[in-house]
Amino acid sequence: GAGVSQSPSNKVTEKGKDVELRCDPISGHTALYWYRQRLGQGLEFLIYFQGNSAPDKSGLPSDRFSAERTGESVSTLTIQRTQQEDSAVYLCASSFSLVLSYEQYFGPGTRLTVT
């Protein structure tokens, strides 16, 4: 079946602009996660959704970052007034349920470059 998809695959934006990143989870997966991976670093957890509710936003770096999810479907991560330190690969993952969160399926990521 189809895996997790993300769009765009690459995004170059100017400092100060807003960007919106999209994630389509695996159909039927109720839990969805966003991570960030800076160059040469491990992953940082940003936020997770159970359905369209986000019980844990503790990883969002600042109030410039926000995320939404429509039902148990698409999610968007929005970064307002982008800064150069926002440059990273943004990864989305989904799992069948929160109980099965140990097995997360990752998308290919969106590479964001802020110039």
Residues making contact with another protein (CB under 8 A)? 4, 31, 33, 35, 37, 40-45, 48, 56, 59, 91, 93, 95, 98, 101-109
When the beta carbons of 71 and 102 are compared against another protein, the nearer one is: 102
Q: Which two tokens stand for residue 94?
A: 């989904």
Give bridge partners of residue 21 from the DSSP assignment. 77
**Closest CB 53 distance from another protein, rounded Å:** 13
Separation of alpha carbons 97 and 12, rounded Å: 33
Cβ proximity to another protein, 7 vs 37, nearer residue: 37
How big is the CA angle at 87 (ends 33 and 84), to the nearest 5 degrees?
Answer: 135
* Residue among 33 and 65 whose Cβ is closer to another protein: 33
